[in-house]
Structure 1
């Protein structure tokens, strides 16, 4: 693999290009306000837990109750976002969080909150956020054109990190000036704007031709697609390892402020602000970096920036130097997550993009959750400096992972779905009819066998990734030029669903296979129903043609 810096030949649009689109601009602003509300609510919940006299473990569970649903429900939320109207799903999630936050605020004003009920409320709000996230991220591709997706993702990351940096400070001031109940009220009100925007957004939702997949099948389809997509797998691995290393900053920042700089809450707030400034700079610089560097090299540079920032924070004893280190960390973090998120979106077709994003989110958040525990343990055993220096080495190690888990480029991808018309059959079939066996017959010259086997290896991956079962390639012993591709579908509906998942890029493989086929006719496609032998009662015997007649066609897609 060529490990030298790669350069992009096509200049990406401006970082602000996504804001030219009214719906993205409106949703982004409303989401930013909602994110601020969520951060303020988190501060209020943590302070109320302290005010209730709960143990330190209960206080730490507040943050866990917010993030745990993201890991638990990401796959389910992704499957729902791919199956239903994403705008409506976001509307349900936001309305649910508004209702729970309102009830929490009312209970807080009436002094009805206990430590366990507070955890329940925060957990439910986290469930709403987990349901909303895949639908929101997957909707970006419907709000802006393909060339603006990377910039849109960077703007989303910048907005979230801006809220994460400034929101807690606002929350602290609000709690000090009023009460935790006031923070809960502000959070409830923060959902109103986004609910209004979503109510006014009218999307053109295509009416599904096939029935929706059952939830369990949809989840397995998403896992199968990602597992058989090496480029998305590379992104997940990088997200997991990066999450482990980068979590050291957020997990240990309060200790950095207290133990390494000898500061208090004000210093902690300044460090959060510096991280946010770096995040904004990262979002604005990402489009310029994409003019010169490939995705892989941007991530490597960002990881090195993050590692340098973490190492400086480990040895610094002055507020100025540590703030500069936090800016480097924020810069690197936003560049990394925006590139990884955009890579998943650009490599996953629309039918599975939310599930792919949810798996990426699970990997990254699992790394962050595990990393937070790891760095706390290392700090307890060896001190905060040792923990930060080890975390810096982890970030450098993630940069080296690029040699084995290389991030792909996405400029030339065309993941628009092909149109597949249901083939006519002589034997009557219904959606539940099956199992269906499909064979495609090719005639391949001896000189083309090696090329044929190579392209069929790619076709096998595409078939299985899109849901085909028991794929095999056969050669006729009596006719060496005859090759037969064979696979199964459990039902006729699943067969149609499988073929409806092919993209324009997949069609290039079909064309390469057809080009190797000899003769003027297209490869012969046979669709057959598998039937069991036996002697059932005469009254239950089907028509003889259903047992004996294969369904044949010579269509380009099968």
Structure 2
């Protein structure tokens, strides 16, 4: 909705990318801090505070629309505030999950969580587009606020025991450095972070720029964006189903991530044949399916191999990469697309990604990495 509001105001892929960057910029600086807090506090309470904060921000956006002051500057401020809350929410959510399911079931749980999340991407854009076209942007933001309120009620019903140490002598900076040491000493985690970065530079960047891509390639409107978002949701659900069938098998998960990166590259190359909503929709559905398998596969790999005491800190670094890199990718991709068009940019990115994936597969000695982890 923020992306479409930006495109509707500016008709510029550069500004769509800039708003995406403003939303995800806080992740770079604040997510590691919240990762430390997630290892020290009750993550359920942290998620509850984040949900209520997002509800308040959505209400303020609705009020700005009602008063006619919803400008580009307002959107940039709104995106930044949502980014701050998101930087807190992600580590809390990721730390909470292992307290709800046993460790061998974590890949399945990650996949099922992805299915639930992406089903909302099918229903939400359709309802949001109807509100944008038939009612108003303010009504859409009010609905978002109400949904966060409902989510808070469900969180209140969760009862889990999350043991936490009573005393923490080290500072936040010291605790953050301990998480970095864990990453440095784990070849598998380092490889997962690299693969997540590659995914962020192409697949997730395309998802961030979807309003601009739709507008430039097929002259799409809000209804077109809703249809594309729904198809992206379908692809994500399919990807989540595939990951949910796996149970703690590191080698299989890593092979899935490599294969999904290649699938993403091949899907993006279909942009050469995009002429209408059907063609672009098919491409976006495949990209979304691949992106979901990459993201959930990488998250599951970290979840099953990191110790509970460092889970929040390590996953917060993964969050920085998985959410921060797409913001930069969207910004640079949008900037270049202003000059040469999206078709040339997407083809170049797809070919570069495929070459990089093949190179990583050949040189990273995957078998040695897995042997050190599973031995």
| Secondary structure, counterpart of 1:294 in structure 2 | helix
Higher mean C-alpha displacement, 108-117 vs 190-199: 108-117
Match of 1:174 in 2: 131
Distance 1:168 1:119 in 2: 21
Structure 2 SS opposite 1:208? coil
| Residue 342 (structure 2) aligns with | 384
Q: Is 1:269 paired with 2:223? A: no
Asked whether 1:316 is paired with 2:264, we answer no
Q: Structure 2: how far apart are the matches of 1:54 and 1:374?
A: 17
Displacement of 1:336: 0.7
Change (3 A) 1:106 1:267: closer
TM-score normalised to structure 1 length? 0.59
The Cα shift of 1:81 comes to 0.6
**Alignment counterpart, residue 198 of structure 2, candidates 238, 241, 254:** 241
Q: Could you tell me whether the CA contact under 8 Å between 2:235 and 2:288 is conserved in 1?
A: yes
Q: Distance in 2 between matches of 1:44 and 1:266?
A: 10
**8 Å Cα contact 2:239-2:290 kept in structure 1:** yes
Match of 1:301 among 236, 239, 259: 259
| Number of the residue aligned with 1:286 | 243
Matches within 5 A, 1:375-524: 375-400=333-358, 401-405=360-364, 406=366
- How far 1:164 moved relative to its partner? 4.0
Distance in structure 2 (CA, Å) of the matches to 1:136 and 1:306? 27
* Secondary structure of residue in 2 paired with 1:144: coil
Report if aligned partners of 2:131, 2:140 keep a CA contact under 8 Å in 1: yes
For this pair of structures, how many residues does the alignment match?
371
SS at match of 1:213: coil
Which residue in 1 is equivalent to 2:291? 333
5+ long unaligned stretches in structure 1: 1-39, 414-504, 506-558
Say which of 106, 114, 119 aligns to 1:149: 106
Q: Secondary structure at the match of 1:352?
A: helix
Secondary structure, counterpart of 2:308 in structure 1: coil
- 1:130 to 2:87 alignment: yes
Asked if 1 retains the 8 angstrom alpha-carbon contact of 2:261 and 2:357, the reply is yes
Give the structure 1 partner of residue 300 of structure 2.
Answer: 342
Question: Which protein is richer in helix relative to its size?
Answer: 2
Match of 2:56 in 1: 99
Partner of 1:545 in structure 2?
A: none
Distance 1:288 1:268 in 2: 31
**Structure 1 residue aligned with 2:41, among 44, 65, 84?**
84
Are 1:82 and 1:354, in contact at CA under 8 Å, matched by a contact in 2? yes
TM-score (norm 2): 0.85
Give distance in 2, aligned partners of 1:91 and 1:258. Answer: 36
Contact 1:295 1:409 in 2 (8 A): no
What does residue range 49-60 of structure 1 map to in structure 2 within 5 Å?
50=9
Asked if structure 2 preserves the Cα contact closer than 8 Å seen for 1:314 and 1:384, the reply is no
Compared CA separation, residues 234 and 97, structure 1 to 2 (3 A): same
Q: Per-residue deviation at 1:133?
A: 0.8
Q: Which runs of 5+ in 2 are unaligned?
A: none
> Higher mean Cα deviation, 146-155 or 108-117?
108-117
2:145 is equivalent to residue 188 of structure 1:
yes
**Structure-2 change in CA distance of 1:171 and 1:302 (3 Å):** same
Compared with structure 1, are the counterparts of its residues 180 and 319 closer, same or farther at alpha carbon in structure 2 (3 Å cutoff)?
A: closer
CA distance in 1, matches of 2:301, 2:203: 19
Q: CA deviation at 1:386?
A: 2.0
Structure 1 residues 116 and 311, CA gap change in structure 2 (3 angstroms): closer
Q: Please tell me whether the aligned partners of residues 94 and 195 of structure 1 are also in contact (alpha carbons under 8 angstroms).
A: yes
Shift of 1:272: 2.6
SS at match of 1:187: helix
Q: Distance in 1 between matches of 2:218 and 2:71?
A: 36
Q: Distance in 1 between matches of 2:338 and 2:300?
A: 37
Question: Of the candidates 298, 313, 331, which is equivalent to residue 355 of structure 1?
Answer: 313
Q: Distance in 2 between matches of 1:89 and 1:101?
A: 19
> For 2:212 and 2:58, how far apart are their aligned partners in 1?
30
- Are the aligned partners of 1:308 and 1:328 in contact in 2 as well (CA < 8 Å)? no
**CA drift at 1:319:** 4.0
Higher mean alpha-carbon deviation, 136-145 vs 274-283, is at: 274-283
The Cα shift of 1:244 comes to 0.6
Q: How far did 1:235 drift? A: 0.6
Find the aligned partners of 2:168 and 2:282 in 1 and give their Cα distance. 54
Aligned-partner Cα distance in 1 for 2:15–2:190: 36
CA offsets 1:330-353 (integer angstroms, 9 cap, x no match): 221111111101111112111111
Are 1:83 and 1:213, in contact at CA under 8 Å, matched by a contact in 2?
no
